Amino acid sequence: MSIPPNSSQSNTIDWNEMSKSFDRWLPYIQPVAEALISLADLSEGDEILDVAAGTGEPSLTIARRFGSAVRITAVDGAEAMVAVAEEKRRREGLSGITFQPMKAEALAFPSNRFDRVISRFGVMLFDDPLQGLKEMRRVMKPGGKMAIAVWSEFHRIESLHLIWESIMKRLPPEGRPPLPKMADLGPPGKLEALLKTAGFEQFEIRPFLLSYTFDDFETYWAINTESGTLREPLDRFSAEEQEAIKKETSKQVVPFFKEGKIIMQNQALLAAAIA
């Protein structure tokens, strides 16, 4: 095992690189898109902003469902993610929706422009989540609604946490990376404090449980380790050590089998706020 000098740094993800494989997650997290659409309470004529829309969600789901009854502007900080989203829009011939590269911390829109602002699994990944939320609030019309989803605490994301634990116990405490950034806003009170500091006075936060089903262990292992959060910590180990981690995980996953499939619960937090 070799511990690189930057091993205590946060294991951040290259989202341009992730654009090649991100869509494998879309079926798993679609229930969050449905929940956000319902929370956002969309009406005909709404101007909607989707921040950190990645490869297009939840914007594409909204565009397919509402057609030109709403106008959607979707932005993301990674150009390659935006390119994937734009290609889907073009292929499906969807109208009333545009995708553009843009950082959440500097939204290039006038204040009071949008009726609805949504974001699925983006805010906790911003370089500056507070500045991003302030910007999201600034561009909302007074009385406009925001609906966002972030991940809960990391140990509540069962499908990743199980493998993470196997990896961490093989690293010396001083060489362990911090918990993944995806879980930064999960600890109790963090999202609430951030929304308040960003100027939101009226909001509600509630947990949302996502059930992930994997057909077999190989599928579970591949989808969770080929890219994303676990790839960098796994890459610190030799091929033999990675095989040992995989073998150990295959034993720990046994209690999660139900009727031949692996079923794991992952917790998100949904927030609905009024500007």
Closest distance of CB 72 from ligand SAM, Å: 13
Q: State which of residues 35, 72, 125, 264 lies at the interface with ligand SAM (CB under 6 A).
A: 125
Map the footprint of ligand SAM across residues 5-34, applying CB under 6 A.
15, 29
C-alpha distances in angstroms, 131 versus 40, 106, 119, 197, 271? 22, 8, 15, 10, 17
Return the residue of 76, 86, 115, 184 that touches ligand SAM, per CB under 6 A. 76
Compare residues 71 and 103 and give the one whose CB is closer to ligand SAM.
103
The whole-angstrom separation of Cα 75 and Cα 108 is 10
Give the one residue of 14, 41, 79, 127 binding ligand SAM; rule: CB under 6 A.
Answer: 127
Nearer to ligand SAM by Cβ, of 15 and 220: the residue is 15
Helices 59-66 and 79-92 meet at what angle, rounded to 10? 20
**How many secondary structure helices (H) and strands (E) does the chain include?**
10, 8
Q: CB 127 → ligand SAM: shortest distance, Å?
A: 5
**Cβ–Cβ < 8 Å for 12, 48:** no
Secondary structure of 147-190 as H, E, C letters: EEEEECCHHHEHHHHHHHHHHHCCCCHHHCCCCCHHHCCCCCCH
What span, in angstroms and rounded, lies between the C-alpha atoms of 272 and 137? Answer: 12
CA dihedral 156, 39, 130, 155 (to 10 degrees): 0
Decide: is 41 part of the binding site for ligand SAM (CB under 6 A). Answer: no
- Indicate which single residue of 126, 164, 200, 256 sits in contact with ligand SAM (rule: CB under 6 A): 126
In angstroms, give the least distance from the CB of 78 to ligand SAM: 3
- Report residue 228: phi and psi, to 5°: 90, -160
Asked if 53 is part of the footprint of ligand SAM (rule: CB under 6 A), the reply reads: yes
The minimum distance between CB 121 and ligand SAM, in angstroms, equals 4
CB nearest ligand SAM: which residue? 54
Q: Does 121 bind ligand SAM (CB under 6 A)?
A: yes
Q: Which residues bind ligand SAM (CB under 6 A)?
A: 15, 29, 52-54, 57, 76-78, 81, 103-105, 120-122, 125-127
